[in-house]
Amino acid sequence: MNLHLIPEPRKTHFISRRLHSVFFEYFGHAIYDGIWVGKDSPIPNIDGLRREVVEGCRELGVGAMRWPGGCCADHYHWKNGVGPDRPARLHPMSDPANPVWRHDFGTDEFLRLCELTGAEPILTVNTATGSPEEFLDWFEYVNGPAETKFGALRAATGHPKPYGVKCWGIGNTDENVWHIDYNNPVAYAQNYLKYETVLREDRRRLCFIGLGLSTRHGLPGWTGKALDHITRNQRALPPDALSVHHYLGGAKQGGQLCGGAVDFSEEGYYALLNLLERYQYDIDLHRVIIREHAGPGAKTKVCFDEWGAWHPEATFAANQNQPQTLRDAIFAALALHIFYRNSDIVEFAMETQLCNLLQSLFESAGAKFYRPPPFPAMKLLKPHLGQHLIHVLPDELDKDLDTVASISPDRREIIVSIVNRHLHDEKHIDVRTHGDGWTPGDAEILTADDVHDRNSFDAPSTVSIAPFPASSRLALPPHSIVRLRLICGHIARCVD
């Protein structure tokens, strides 16, 4: 088939680093043993943070990190995690066999991780069991001058300069939507307004992420009602973004056909990938909600702050850990394609969770470490970051091919990524770039012999990126992701 590329940047669709963001919290071994090994650990670390995690995040260009939850944000009291005295507390949502919530990794450690990786921090405030006052204290600790009460505490712990955190998640869906006041969006809105009010004028310089909804909540009118109240019927400031969570797979509703993490049939392979259309549905739903309820000209965006596959193996008793195969890499690439295509409204997309949990990017056990297949998938697509989307027009429809193309700000480079999700068929594509002078630069591929193949501590590179012949005539192997770079060979730009 012919694939026509129109090398005109779509100005509204900028693929920012924020679409390669991550989320993590205090479940299983995401933080302890994963991200945080401690300053005295024999495991290579930078200020207690596992060096391989820091380096891996840099390699991926991770744009933002969201912490301390998720559900854990609803029970997180930040004062336990600063200064020299870090009490262990009861973890109300952990495995009953180990209900201890350690606080060695707290606000300064999280912000250090962000500094080291260049990621933007997003702090989720506790709107469930916390208070607006606790939020104000936290805000002061993080952003206040050193002469304020909590700014002084921060300075005393070695960081006199305010961190300048801009983005704040106002609550997490689970407690707010499901537990505390089920189906009462006005209760959440009232709470949101209190959190906004404690900052008054500062609020306008910040990015507040309010709660959106996913279809899984089964409460389609919830977000519109909350927004009506927050904006006083479209007359006051809406949230800057709405948070959307959605996991797909065998552990989630409607996902039974997907099978297990490794033990899945052909039908299960396609079932998981087909479920991804729900992400597009979530985004479309929020476009409508924002248009109708955020107010005239509102610039409210979508923060897809928890996405990934959740396989049946990832139970709470198993610390939500799951093996991941090439199927998960293809799933991740297709999900990222959806976020890029909707980059006019999706501001953040967060792979969940960074380490050892669900669709993790890193797996560790003591000193052992490897990168599961979603890591190379994200890395393969990294060259799209910082570019504008361009139109891709295939002259035939093939539901097993999924393509995204982007152009660099200087219009000298086009990146094309194509997923061939077919399990058996090689696909032939002629890439036809409109305008003269575009020549293939380099290409890479992510695939493996079998879609059930995966990486492990003993075989960390079974699913990894390999060079691929760069050509405008591509033969894409089954179950593969290919990334091609086209270079503008003209001295004059290929597009003006």
Classify residue 449 as exposed, middle or buried by CB count within 10 Å of its CB (0-12, 13-18, 19+): exposed
What separation, in Å, do the N-terminal and C-terminal C-alpha atoms of the chain show? 28
User: Tokens for 33?
Assistant: 């043993």
Amino acid identity of residue 479, one-letter, is H
**Least distance to ligand AHR, CB of residue 372, Å:** 17
The reply to whether 306 sits near ligand AHR by the rule CB under 6 A is: yes
> How many angstroms separate the CA atoms of 208 and 122, rounded?
10
From 48, 56, 68, 69, residue interacting with ligand AHR (rule: CB under 6 A):
69
30/334 with CB nearer ligand AHR: 30
Contacts of 72 (CB under 8 A, 6+ apart): 25, 26, 27, 93
> Which window, 63-71, 362-370, 379-387, 392-400, contacts ligand AHR (CB under 6 A)?
63-71
Question: Which residue among 70, 255, 259, 268 contacts ligand AHR (CB under 6 A)?
Answer: 70
Nearest residue to ligand AHR on Cβ basis: 70
Measured from the Cβ of residue 101, the count of other Cβ atoms closer than 10 Å reads 20
Please, which residue, 174 or 196, has the CB nearer to ligand AHR? 174
Segment near ligand AHR (CB under 6 A), from 8-16, 67-75, 282-290, 398-406?
A: 67-75
Q: Which is nearer to ligand AHR, 89 or 434 (CB)?
A: 89
As measured in angstroms, the least distance from the Cβ of 225 to ligand AHR is 21
Residue of 217, 245, 278, 286 interacting with ligand AHR (CB under 6 A): 245
CA distance 77 to 171: 13
- Nearest in space to 464 (alpha carbons), one of 403, 389, 376, 400: 376
- Count of residues for the chain? 496
Q: Is 71 in the site for ligand AHR (CB under 6 A)?
A: yes
29 binds ligand AHR (CB under 6 A): no
- Report, in Å, the least distance between residue 108 CB and ligand AHR: 22
Query: What does DSSP assign to residue 280?
Result: H
- Residue 176 is classified by DSSP as I
71 vs 354 by CB, closer to ligand AHR: 71
Helix (H) or strand (E) holding 274: helix 266-275
For residues 1 and 318, which CB has a smaller minimum distance to ligand AHR in the complex? 318
Return the number of the residue (93 or 443) whose C-beta is nearest ligand AHR.
93
Look at residue 233 and give its three-state secondary structure: coil
CB 176 within 8 A of CB 188: yes
170 binds ligand AHR (CB under 6 A): no
| Site for ligand AHR contains 27 (CB under 6 A) | yes
Q: Which of 16, 172, 322, 360 binds ligand AHR (CB under 6 A)?
A: 172
174 binding ligand AHR? (CB under 6 A): yes
- DSSP class of 119: P
Q: Which residues contact 491 (CB under 8 A, 6 or more apart)?
A: none
Cβ-based nearer residue to ligand AHR, 245 or 301 = 245
Q: How many CB atoms within 10 Å of residue 165?
A: 20
Residues 9, 10, 15: CA angle, nearest 5 degrees: 90
Residue 22 CB, nearest distance to ligand AHR (Å)?
13
Contact between 320 and ligand AHR by CB under 6 A: the answer reads: yes
Q: How far is the CB of 299 from ligand AHR (least distance, A)?
A: 25
Binding region for ligand AHR (CB under 6 A): 25, 27, 69-71, 172, 174, 245, 306, 320
